[in-house]
Amino acid sequence: TQLLEQSPQFLSIQEGENLTVYCNSSSVFSSLQWYRQEPGEGPVLLVTVVTGGEVKKLKRLTFQFGDARKDSSLHITAAQPGDTGLYLCAGYNFNKFYFGSGTKLNVKP
Amino acid sequence: KAGVTQTPRYLIKTRGQQVTLSCSPISGHRSVSWYQQTPGQGLQFLFEYFSETQRNKGNFPGRFSGRQFSNSRSEMNVSTLELGDSALYLCASSEPPIGAGGYTFGSGTRLTVV
């Protein structure tokens, strides 16, 4: 059973557009991470959020952890082709990570 | 510092054979976890080792096993390979306290079973 649901599953947009990816659960997590994975490579950690309501910015990427620590969002401003990849969220609880199914993003030039 | 190193990168095996994959974590990281990634199932947790002890195990058959050595390097073994074992196998290391900082993943081993 997937504890983390990501939406949308697929997203194809033009360069310069904004987008938001969602990661939802009915479970509370002590921390949540976002990763980006490119084809043929392992996921790369983008950010870890720990506190409910926390917002972190990484250049054009904004990450938010829900107040109840059950959900998170990733917003990309002015997407670029280099943002193309599979975005994964992962919640951490009781010495285990639970990964979402991922959002495959394609940014067309 | 060097990243997580997985060898080999690519592997082709025949049904019924066995395979051993290797992972060297980041220096100082004592926790090593293994995941199977397929297009249909996403990232599925196999097991986690910490200080040479298996701490967690996912829902995989006993054909999947692993171990960790005193230098934190880890191996996973799959016996009696099936076509459905074709996947990208990812190793991830983390430093204590486990989970607080997330994982550093290797590039993976792409296993194809024919």
Residue B3: CB atoms within 10 Å:
15
Per-residue CA distances from B31 to A45, B54, B98 (Å):
16, 10, 7
Query: pLDDT (tens digit, 9 = 90+) per residue, B57-106?
Result: 999 999 999 999 999 999 999 999 999 999 999 999 987 655 567 889 99
Q: How many whole angstroms separate alpha carbon A87 and alpha carbon B20? A: 29
State yes or no: pLDDT of B1 exceeds 90: no
Q: How far, in whole angstroms, is CA B12 from its chain's centroid?
A: 17
Query: For A41, which of B43, B102, B107 is closest by C-beta distance?
Result: B107
Share of chain B above pLDDT 90, in %: 80
Query: For B43, which of A33, A50, A88 is closest by C-beta distance?
Result: A88
State yes or no: pLDDT of B49 exceeds 80: yes
For an interface test with A, give the residue of B4, B7, B43 to mutate (most A CBs within 10 A): B43
| B98 touches A: beta carbon within 8 Å | yes
State yes or no: pLDDT of A15 exceeds 90: yes
B37 within 8 A of B93, measured Cβ to Cβ? no
